[in-house]
Amino acid sequence: MKYLPLNPQIFINNRNRFIKEMKPNSIAIFTSNDEWPMNGDALHKFKQNSGLFWLTGIEQEDSMVVLFPDCPDPKYKEVLVLIRPNELKEKWDGKRLRANEAKAVSGMATVVWADSIDALLQGWIHLADNIYLDTNENDRKASQIRSRDYRLVDEMKMRYPLHNYLRSAKIMKALRGIKTKEEIEVLQKAIDITESTFRRLLKFIRPGVMEYEIEAEIVHSFLSQRATGEAYGSIIASGDRARTLHYVSNSEECKAGELLLMDFGAGYGGYNADLTRTVPVNGKFGRRQKTVYNACLHLHNYAKSILKPGITIVDYTDMVGEEATQQFLKIGLLRKSEVKNEDKENRAYRKYLYHGISHHLGIDVHDLGTRTEPLKAGMVLTIEPGIYIEEEQMGVRVENNVWLTKNGNTDLMKNIPIEADEIENLMKR
């Protein structure tokens, strides 16, 4: 790992939180992600299962976690399972974790090797009544591939059909949505790396620069600051390309007179930042550009003022939509007649703002968390309204990350330049 060692208390706390939600005499099993084949004999870059990482901080493939708080042998109440280090494999792929190293990362006292887990696991399961298994219960999941966690479900039910099976994902959704202060410290580091990268870009952007050159500056800045890399594929979209929400080609020239939308974030210690800023390529907003930018910034600030515990994402989105309607009337995007006669299922403002305003953020960029129940203190969400105008070949989005507190929220990106005048002044220098 490129990042500095994390505080293992993060993962100790997370395991304790999960164990408190387990039913008596239950065992929970979490497995790592697959190593996915690419082409030929190559593999895609390994990405750990988010649930397993949240519990342990372990990023190595072929790993497993077993939680059995009522195990008669105290040594096996928490078990980390690792692949046994292999000299030949290490010559090809690099060093694997030793037991003492894994204990230091995870804060777990017991480590066993994967080639000895089957016999141990069978005895533990025979003592348990319930088995918690984890699956990817993301509402936006698109892939139907039978990944390792689903294959584990199939295997366990075949071998132990008379046990009662329970969903770890339901507990994970509730727990992972609420970030501890130790998790926020890691997330803030990812945000600080993102901030310094943005400030660097303001000195680099100029007419004639290519979108991919800006992307390269981002990656260079991230890695030089010990980030794991990009939290997601950076969106570097100049001119009309900014209206494409997930534009990742990043292949065109940035021209004078255009706005440049940049949506990027660093990944650090397993946690992800998610920033969007829109800046003038030539360092100076045009009059109309500044009008639209300030309208978007107004929506951003309004959304931040109402995003607090107790509100639901649905009600919050409706309220931002009402404010967007007024802003779009003010800057000439909508007419009163269009608003009066709008389809309530497809409101008029949606022509210019056609995505959600916020999503949960953490180990996953679109992290686990409620979409229908009231939000709670401790949740981290993005705030990212946008305005996309086809007739003017312009797209603007402004995004920060906030941590919900008892009575409101804390803007974790409050130090990142956001006002139009501040951006112009920094680009001028």
**Residue 195 and residue 295 in one domain:** yes
Cα 23 to the center of its chain, rounded Å: 29
Q: Are 148 and 335 spatial neighbours (Cβ–Cβ below 8 Å)? A: no
State phi, psi for 349 to the nearest 5 degrees. -65, -20
Averaged pLDDT for residues 84-92: 88
Q: Are 139 and 371 spatial neighbours (Cβ–Cβ below 8 Å)? A: yes
Domain presence at residue 4: no
Cα dihedral value 185, 187, 190, 195, nearest 10: -90
Maximal C-alpha separation, the chain = 73
Residue 295: per-residue pLDDT: 98
Q: Is the pTM of this model over 0.85?
A: yes
**Residue 34 and residue 60 in one domain:** yes
Q: What is the CATH number of the domain that holds 330?
A: 3.90.230.10
Averaged pLDDT for residues 184-212: 98
**Residue 324 and residue 293 in one domain:** yes
Residue 143: per-residue pLDDT: 77
139 pLDDT higher than 80: no
Residue 423: per-residue pLDDT: 98
**Residue 129 and residue 16 in one domain:** yes
Q: Provide the domain limits for residue 23.
A: 9-176
Domain presence at residue 195: yes
Averaged pLDDT for residues 7-24: 98
Number of domains in the chain: 2
**Residue 186 and residue 159 in one domain:** no
- Assign 41 a pLDDT band (cuts: 50, 70, 90): confident
Domain presence at residue 2: no
Q: What is the DSSP letter of 412?
A: T
Burial classification of residue 280, based on how many CB atoms lie within 10 Å of its CB (0-12 exposed, 13-18 middle, 19 or more buried): buried
Q: Are 57 and 10 spatial neighbours (Cβ–Cβ below 8 Å)? A: yes
How many beta carbons lie within 10 A of that of residue 67, not counting itself? 20
**Residue 153 and residue 219 in one domain:** no
Last residue of a domain, one of 151, 176, 201: 176
Domain presence at residue 3: no
Q: Model confidence over 154-171: pLDDT tens digits? A: 999 999 999 999 999 999
**Residue 147 and residue 272 in one domain:** no
Domain presence at residue 280: yes
Query: How far apart are alpha carbons 59 and 44 in whole angstroms?
Result: 15
Q: Model confidence over 264-320: pLDDT tens digits? A: 999 999 999 999 999 999 999 999 999 999 999 999 999 999 999 999 999 999 999
Residue 382: per-residue pLDDT: 98
Residue 371: per-residue pLDDT: 85
- Assign 89 a pLDDT band (cuts: 50, 70, 90): confident
**Residue 116 and residue 200 in one domain:** no
Query: How far apart are alpha carbons 421 and 224 in whole angstroms?
Result: 29
User: Terminus-to-terminus CA distance in the chain, angstroms?
Assistant: 36
87 pLDDT higher than 90: no
Averaged pLDDT for residues 26-41: 94
**Residue 325 and residue 414 in one domain:** yes
**Residue 216 and residue 313 in one domain:** yes
Last residue of a domain, one of 159, 176, 193: 176
Question: Which residues partner with 381 through β-bridges?
Answer: 360, 402
**Residue 424 and residue 360 in one domain:** yes
Domain presence at residue 409: yes
Q: What is the CATH number of the domain that holds 122?
A: 3.40.350.10
Residues listed for the chain: 429
Which of 241, 321, 242 lies closest to 278, judged by CA? 242
Token digits of residue 130: 């319930």
Residue 298: per-residue pLDDT: 98
Last residue of a domain, one of 157, 176, 195: 176
* Strand ranges in 179-317 using DSSP code E only, listed in sequence order: 229-230, 235-238, 259-264, 266-268, 271-272, 275-280
**Residue 162 and residue 241 in one domain:** no
Q: Model confidence over 358-390: pLDDT tens digits? A: 999 999 999 999 889 999 999 999 999 999 999
Domain presence at residue 1: no
